[in-house]
Amino acid sequence: MKALLVGVMTAALAVPAMAQKKYDAGADDKEIKIGNTNPYSGPASAYGQIGKAIAAYFKMVNDQGGVNGRKINFVSYDDSYSPPKTVEMARKLVEQDQVLFLFQTLGTPSNTAIQKYMNTMKVPQLYVATGATKWNDPKNFHWTMGWQPNYQTEGRIYAKHILATKPNAKIGILYQNDDYGKDYLKGMEDGLGDKAKTMIVSKVSYEVSDPTVDSQIVQLQASGADTFFNITTPKFAAQAIRKAYDIGWKPVHYLNNVSISVGSVLTPAGLDKSVGLITAAYLKEPTDARWASDKGLEPFREFMKKYLPDANIADNFNIYGYTVGATLVQALKQCGNELTHENIMRQSANLKNLRLDTLLPGIVITTAPTDYAPIEAVQLQRFNGKQWELFGDVMTSQ
């Protein structure tokens, strides 16, 4: 009898103290189902590379054993950058495919369209792929969180730099006529404060459907500006850099972070024509000579060779997808066996000084229940004809 009692007690103690297993729809012992929308067709299809990079990253994670023993099932649909389509696909993912949460849905209008829905359904809309400022609003939208440094912050940082180094500058701005362009513009105007009206001598826009921005560059030169804030996407950035050089306009040239790739923007524009460009960055740039022998980037280079062999490593979107994927994996690891909507949000808002090798040194990821902006710091860098040279300290918008 005593032996039986001891046996039973031993058996009871031997049962490992397992963490509580709690699942919401989309998670179980074997997999975590994640939903995403990206523009794989239409005029914004260049951004679809982010979706492909993320899918490849999760494949690598799965090959290495998954997260806490679970494989990631990444379901991504095409929304052609059209908000009504995004709404439809988001509903499909949440209601029909029963994903655990949405991750890196792309585009400001697309995310605006589904924000209310996601928060009503209480399903996380995590690490959205847009730099708009509105995603850092935990009080009103508990379930929506951004990831990259937002555009207005970057604009303000450039404004601060101008005020500090060239307080009498005459600023000309070229911006894309959409939410991305206007957000950067607002950041710069806010950063300049009262002096915005006097310092900004020319604001010129362009549409994505325009063949070239040559006319706009000519306009900016004619306005007498000696400082240029270049808010353009890669193709137009290359055109702008080259045209400015060709017409003999040599302003102090601030280039927005979206177009800093040496391989896919500066080289087509002409490396000699890009000398002196200033930008703010948070990711390492794989085609930049300064990281050519960086040990930290080796896993990324291996990843590109093995999982995205046809992609262009010069395309920023690949390292972006890799880094945001790594951020999510960390949050998921912290969730352990409690894969519920609430815990996903809690852990995503609980990243403390997360350091990833693909981020520039000095830049970390931090979130808190009142801080839904994971990356808030950037570092200014200047192009010297061969590579980007970091200067100054890591800056935030404060």
Partner 1 sequence: MDALLHQVLAGLATGGIYASLALALVMIYQATHLVNFAQGEMAMFTTYIAWSLIEAGMPYWAAFILTVLTAFMLGVLIERLIIRPVGQAPVLAVVVVFIALLLILNSVTGWIYTYTIKTFPSPFPAQPLFGNRYLSSHELGAIGITLVVLLLLYAFFRFTPLGLAMRAAAQNPESSRLVGIRVGWMLALGWGLAAAIGSIGGMMVAPIVYLDPNMMSGVLLYAFAAALVGGIDNPMGAVIGGFLVGVLENVLGAFVIGNELKLSVALVIIIGVLLVRPSGFFGRVQVSRV
Partner 2 sequence: MSRKTLVLAIVLLIVACALPFVVSNYRTFQFTLVLVYAIALLGLNILTGYNGQISLGHGAFYALGAYCTAILMDRWGVPYWATIPVAGAVCLGAGFLFGLPALRLEGLYLALATFALGVATPQLLKYHLLEKWTGGVQGIVIMKPAPPFGLPLNPDQWLYFFTLAIAAVMFILGWNLIRGRIGRALVAIRDQHIAAEAMGIHNALYKSLAFGVSAMFTGVAGALGAVAVQFVAPDSFNIFLSIVLLVGIVVGGLASISGALYGALFIQFIPNIADEISKAAPWAIFGAFMIGFVYLMPTGVAGAVRLLTARRKAP
3 state DSSP class of 126: strand
Q: Based on the shown chain and the rule CB under 8 A, indicate whether residue 204 belongs to the binding site for partner 1.
A: yes
Q: Which of 218, 271, 356, 390 binds partner 1 (CB under 8 A)?
A: 218
> Which CB sits closer to partner 1, 78 or 376?
78
| Residue 357 binding target from partner 2, partner 1, none, CB below 5 to 8 Å by type | none
Tell me which residue of 116, 111, 152, 150 sits closest to 128, measured CA to CA.
Answer: 111
**How far, in Å, CA of 140 to CA of 144, rounded?**
9
Q: Based on the shown chain and the rule CB under 8 A, indicate whether residue 210 belongs to the binding site for partner 1.
A: yes
Residues 4-43 that bind partner 1 (CB under 8 A): 41, 43
> Which CB sits closer to partner 2, 84 or 296?
84
Residues 123-182 that bind partner 1 (CB under 8 A): 177
3 state DSSP class of 174: strand
> Which CB sits closer to partner 1, 49 or 343?
49
Q: Which of 83, 263, 270, 336 binds partner 2 (CB under 8 A)?
A: 83
Q: Which of 31, 97, 137, 214 binds partner 1 (CB under 8 A)?
A: 214
Identity at 267, one-letter amino acid code: T
Q: Which of 111, 130, 230, 239 binds partner 1 (CB under 8 A)?
A: 239
CA–chain centroid gap for 274, Å, is: 24
Residues 12-51 that bind partner 2 (CB under 8 A): 40-43
| Residue 121 binding target from partner 1, partner 2, none, CB below 5 to 8 Å by type | none
Sheet containing 388-395: which strands, arranged edge to edge?
200-206, 171-176, 227-231, 252-255, 278-281, 378-383, 388-395
Contact (Cβ atoms closer than 8 angstroms) between residue 223 and residue 169: no
Number of residues that bind partner 2 (CB under 8 A): 32
**How far, in Å, CA of 328 to CA of 122, rounded?**
19
Q: Which of 36, 49, 73, 76 binds partner 2 (CB under 8 A)?
A: 76
Q: At what angle do helices 151-165 and 179-192 cross, to 10 degrees?
A: 40
